[in-house]
Amino acid sequence: MSMIEVIKEAVTLARKYDNIELTQELLTAEEDYIELKRENLKLREEVNNLREQLKLKPKISWYGHLYWIEEDELTKGKSRTPICNNCYDKEGKVFRLSPKLGFGSEGERHQYVGCHNCKFHHQL
Ligand SMILES: [Zn+2]
């Protein structure tokens, strides 16, 4: 017998014995039980959604003064892309760094990676 059946049976008995106070208490208990069941269902959905998000969460490692994101899911192989230190440390956001080419004061070429969100750059 489920909880709701037990409560309904108790309500029937309380009515049979004309116990109005007990009937009211049992009806309140029934409403509370239905509300708890609804909340439980909502929480289960949230837990399932969070589990799914966790599966998709990228693996991030620290190497050579940069964070790197594992791109295995996309490339189906071993591939890492540098992400912005500033954006990840401050806001927990992942912005991939784009390769760029610059020139030093002597006209020498510098290869670096830059963030299009916060202008962070790192020379390679
Ligand atoms: Zn950034």
Asked if 66 and 111 sit in the same domain, the reply is yes
- Measured in Å, residue 81 CA sits from the centre of ligand 1 at 14
Find the domain containing 79 and state its range: 58-123
Report percent pLDDT > 90 for the chain: 55
Distance, CA of 54 to CA of 85 (rounded, Å): 21
- Measured in Å, residue 88 CA sits from the centre of ligand 1 at 7
Count other Cβ atoms within 10 Å, centred on residue 79: 13
* Counted domains in the chain: 2
Asked if 30 and 12 sit in the same domain, the reply is yes
- Measured in Å, residue 3 CA sits from the centre of ligand 1 at 54
| 63-76 pLDDT tens trace | 889 999 887 655 56
- Measured in Å, residue 24 CA sits from the centre of ligand 1 at 60
| 31-69 pLDDT tens trace | 999 999 999 999 999 999 888 877 767 788 898 899 998
Helix H or strand E segment including 10: helix 3-16
CA angle 80, 83, 85 (to 5 degrees): 135
Asked if 40 and 92 sit in the same domain, the reply is no
Pick the residue with more confidence: 23 or 122?
A: 23
- Measured in Å, residue 115 CA sits from the centre of ligand 1 at 5
Yes or no: say if 10 and 28 are a contact pair by the CB < 8 Å rule. no
This prediction has a pTM of 0.51
Asked if 119 and 66 sit in the same domain, the reply is yes
